Structure 1
Amino acid sequence: MEFQKAARFVDPVAIEQAVNTALVSLDLPVAGAYSRPGIGISTSWRENLDRIFRSKKVEVNRLNQSLLDLLFLLHGEPGKPAVAVPVNCPSSECNAKDVAIPFRGGSCPSCKEPLYPTDVLRIHEEVTEEGTNESALGRLMSVLELLVLVGLTSLLWQQSRNELLCSTLFIVDGPLAMYGPPAKLRGRAQEYFQAMASTTPGHGPYICGLEKTGAMVDYARQLARHNVLQPGDLLVCDQEVVKVITNTDNPAAYGKETYWGRKFVYRAKDGRIVVPTVMPEQGAAYDAGGGQPGPPGYPTLPAILDVIDRTGSSMYQDGIIPVAVAHGKAAFPIGVGTDVLRLVAEHKLGLGNAPTPNP
C-alpha cells in the first residue's frame, strides 16, 4: 500500500499479488429441504450447524482451528477457551435455560433433547419451514465473520503481540455488532477483545467495522453534500445525533443490546464519507446512560482514521481498498455465478441432468 502511494494510479496486479485469501464455504438446507427424513427444518439446521462448526476450519497462515474451537475461545478469554457454553433447550415443551454444554455436546437434563454447542447461537429460532431463510443465513454470516476475527487476532496475540498485533488493523465489513438471536455474542466479543487489549502493548488490537449503507451513512452523506462536514472532520454521534437519525425519543436505548463498538462519522481528507465502528478500551460503547460517545474512550481511533485516509478506493462509493478487495474475492459474477449455483443446487438435490463434477 505504501509503495502504491507513489504511483499515479494504483496497480491492480500489485494489489492482487499482495493479497492472501481464505474463504469459508458451506451449504445448508433452505426452503423445502431437510438434512434427513423425519425431521423439520429447525432440527436440520441445528444438526448441520454442529457438523459445519466441527468440520470447517479457518486456515490462514499458521491459524488452523475449527469454527467450534473459535466459538469456545470467544466464550472464554484470550489463550483460554471456555469448557462449556450456555444453551437453551430448543424444545417447545421445555423451559430449560443456560444448560452448560461441553465441546462434545450433551442433552437437556429435563427432557433429554440432544443439545449441540452451536445451539448457543440460537440461529435455528429464525428458521422457517417455508421461505428462503435469508435472515438466518445473514445471522450465520455475521457469526462466522466474528469467529474469523477472533481467530486472526488471537493468532497474532499469541505469536507476535509486541510487533504484528500492534501494527495491524482488522477491518470488518459492516458495524461491530450482532443482531437477532445471536446478539448475546455482542457481550462476549466486547469482553474478549477488551481482555486482549489489556494484555497487549500500546493500544492494540486495532479493530474497526465499516458501514457502506444504512441510516447513519445516508445522514453523513447529506451533511457532506451541504458542506456541514469538511474533509478531515469527525462527527461524534452522541445522543442528540442518534435522536435525529433514528427519530426516537429514547436515544439511550440505541445500540446497547447489539453494538460492541461505537459509531463515528468521518469525512476523509479526499472527501469520502466513512462510518467506522470502533471498540472502546474499557466499558460499553452504548448503554442506558448514553455510553461513551467521545474520542477519549477510543485510543485506537486516530490510527484507524489515518488508515482510512491512506487507503481510499473509487471501486465503490466512499470505498477503501481492503474492503473492495475482499468483495472482489468473495462475490460471484452475476451471470456465471448464477449458472454455477443453479447447477450445484440441482446436483445436490438430484434434479435435472446436472453433470457430475470431476474429482
Structure 2
Amino acid sequence: MAEKSDFYVPAEHLTDTSWLESKITHDAASAAAHGQIVSAIAVDGSLMVVPVRDGLPSVRYGYAQSAAVWLDIAAMEAQKRERFVDPVSLGQAVNSALISYDLPVAGAYVRQGVSITDSWRESLDKLFRSKKIEVNRMNQSLMSLLFLLHGQPGKPATSLDVNCPAPACDERAIAVGDAGSDCPACKVRLFPTDALRIHEEVVEDGTNESPLGRLMQVVELLVIVGLATLLWEQSRNQLFQNTLFIMDGPMAVYGPPAKLRSQALRYFQLMSESSAGIAPFICGIEKTGTVADYASSLARHNVLSPGDLLVVDSEVISAITNSDNPIAYGAETYWGRKFVYRSTDGRTVVFTVLPEQGPPYDDHGGQAHPSAYPTLPAVLDVIDRTGSSMYRNGIVPVSLAHSKAAYPIGVGTDVLRLAAKQKLGLGASGT
C-alpha cells in the first residue's frame, strides 16, 4: 500500500459528458421495424484446456464446442401474453445444434518426430475435414465452409493462399487446394487450414489456450456462414428476410486469423447484394470489455436513457480507449461497427452490426453514422423484444446459446480429464 499508484480508468472518470449529446439518438427504438424479425439464430462457443494426468503437468488437452440456437421470437412473445407459460410451446420455440472438437494442445504430438507447431497443423487439417455442421438439410464440413467463406455465396473458392510455415522458407501466397500440396521451394506439406495461421501462436512450453481460442472464433464464424448460406439458398425471400443471426461477442477476428475479417465482410455484403431485401441481418453482442464498462457507466449516470442509441465514433473511441490514435481502431479486426444501445427496459447493450457497403472501420475513421447500417432498426427491435435476466444486460437468444455451449464447472473438468487420458493412451495401462 505504501507504493500505491493512481491509474486512469475511463469508465470511472466521467466528468463533463455534454459533448456526447450530439452523438446520441433519442427514442431510436421508435424507428425500428417492429415485427420484421420473427426468429433469431445465436451462436456461442466455449473451450476448456485440461491437464491430462498428475505427474505430467505439461501435457494438456483442449476441448471446444460451438452451439447454434434457433429461437422463434413470435412464439416466445405469444407466451408472454399468456397467464400461464406453456413449457411445451416454449420448448418447441427453441431448436439447437452443437459441434464439438478436441485435440492435444501441449506436451503431446500426433506422432514422433514432429514439433508442436506441425502437430497442431496436422490436427487442424484433420479436424476441419472430419467435423461437420449437421442441421436440417445442411451437412457441410468445416473445410468446405472455409472454402465457401473465401469464395462467394453459392460458389466456394478453389484454393486458399498459404504462407509456407517452414522457418527458413520465404514462399508466400501459395495456392493450396482442398487436397493440400507441397511447398514449391522447400517441399514442406501444406494444408488449406494453414491459411488461418493459428499455428503461429502455438508454443512449446505453455497451455496453448490462446490458439484454441482463435480456433473457436473461426469455427463460430463458419457456423454463421453455413447457417446464413443455408437460408439464403433455400428460403431467400422468407426465412432469410426475417431471421437475425447473432454472434456472442463482436463481429471481429483477432490474432493470426484476422484476415478472415475482410473475407467475412465481403461474403455477407455479396449476399446482401443478391437478396431482394436488406438481409442478412447479423449482429454481435458484447457482454464484456472496455466499451461495455463505459456504456454501463453512462447508463448509471443517466447519460443514456431507455431508447437512446450512442454512435461510437472516433471521438468516443478515443475517450474509451484513452488513445490519441482512434482512427486505427478496429480496421484490421472488425467486420461490424460498434454501437451502444439502452433498451426500452433499461438494459445497456454493446453490439456490432454489418455495414451495407464498405468497411465499418478504416484508416479514415470508417463509417460511424447509423445511416450506413440499414439493418440497425431491426437489430434494435430484437434487443428490445428479447430481454433476458439470465445475465446482466442479456438477450434471450445469446443466453440460450451460452447455456447450450458452456462446459459444466467441476464435474465437467474431471470428465474431460478422464476422456483426454484415454484419448492419449495415458490411462492405467498406458505408458
Q: Which residue of 1 aligns with 2:167?
A: 92
Residue pair 1:58, 1:67 contacting (<8 A) in 2 also: yes
Instruction: Say which of 194, 200, 212 aligns to 1:137.
Output: 212
Where do residues 151-190 of structure 1 align in structure 2 (5 Å cutoff)? 151-190=226-265
Question: Deviations for 1:99-128, whole angstroms, at most 9, x for unmatched residues?
Answer: 000111101111111000000000000011
Greater share of strand: 2
Instruction: Say which of 263, 269, 274 aligns to 2:338.
Output: 263
**How many angstroms apart in 2 are the aligned matches of 1:166 and 1:248?**
39
One-letter code aligned to 1:340: V
The 1:8–1:346 alpha-carbon spacing in structure 2 relative to 1, beyond 3 Å, is farther
**Residue-pair matches, total:** 355
Instruction: Say which of 266, 271, 276 aligns to 1:196.
Output: 271
Q: Which residue of 2 aligns with 1:103?
A: 178
Q: Which residue of 2 aligns with 1:288?
A: 363
Runs of 5+ in structure 1 lacking a partner? 355-359
Instruction: Say which of 303, 325, 330 aligns to 1:228.
Output: 303
**How many angstroms apart in 2 are the aligned matches of 1:258 and 1:245?**
18
**How many angstroms apart in 1 are the aligned matches of 2:125 and 2:185?**
21
1:59 has 2:134 as partner: yes
How far the C-alpha of 1:28 sits from its partner, in A, is 1.3
Where do residues 36-55 of structure 1 align in structure 2 (5 Å cutoff)? 36-55=111-130
Where do residues 195-344 of structure 1 align in structure 2 (5 Å cutoff)? 195-344=270-419
Residue pair 1:224, 1:273 contacting (<8 A) in 2 also: yes
Greater mean alpha carbon deviation, residues 343-352 or residues 114-123? 343-352
How far the C-alpha of 1:31 sits from its partner, in A, is 2.0
Instruction: Say which of 416, 423, 427 aligns to 1:348.
Output: 423
The 1:334–1:132 alpha-carbon spacing in structure 2 relative to 1, beyond 3 Å, is same
**How many angstroms apart in 1 are the aligned matches of 2:393 and 2:128?**
35
One-letter code aligned to 2:357: Q
One-letter code aligned to 1:65: Q
SS at match of 1:24: strand
How far the C-alpha of 1:30 sits from its partner, in A, is 1.4
**How many angstroms apart in 2 are the aligned matches of 1:129 and 1:76?**
34
SS at match of 1:21: strand
Runs of 5+ in structure 2 lacking a partner? 1-75
Residue pair 1:30, 1:131 contacting (<8 A) in 2 also: no
SS at match of 1:27: strand
SS at match of 2:100: coil
How far the C-alpha of 1:330 sits from its partner, in A, is 1.0
**TM-score, normalised via structure 2 length:** 0.80
How far the C-alpha of 1:8 sits from its partner, in A, is 6.3
One-letter code aligned to 1:333: P
The 1:129–1:7 alpha-carbon spacing in structure 2 relative to 1, beyond 3 Å, is farther
**How many angstroms apart in 2 are the aligned matches of 1:13 and 1:32?**
47
Instruction: Say which of 2, 26, 32 aligns to 2:101.
Output: 26
Greater mean alpha carbon deviation, residues 5-14 or residues 44-53? 5-14
How far the C-alpha of 1:335 sits from its partner, in A, is 2.5
How far the C-alpha of 1:10 sits from its partner, in A, is 6.3
Q: Which residue of 2 aligns with 1:115?
A: 190
* Structure of greater Rg: 2
How far the C-alpha of 1:15 sits from its partner, in A, is 3.6
How far the C-alpha of 1:350 sits from its partner, in A, is 2.4
Residue pair 1:123, 1:181 contacting (<8 A) in 2 also: yes
Quote the RMSD (CA, aligned, Å). Answer: 1.5
SS at match of 2:247: strand
Percent identity, please.
67
The 1:9–1:261 alpha-carbon spacing in structure 2 relative to 1, beyond 3 Å, is farther
How far the C-alpha of 1:18 sits from its partner, in A, is 2.5
How far the C-alpha of 1:159 sits from its partner, in A, is 0.9
Question: Deviations for 1:55-91, whole angstroms, at most 9, x for unmatched residues?
Answer: 1111111111110100000000001100100000000
**How many angstroms apart in 1 are the aligned matches of 2:86 and 2:349?**
24
Question: Deviations for 1:229-269, whole angstroms, at most 9, x for unmatched residues?
Answer: 00000000001100001111110000000000000000000
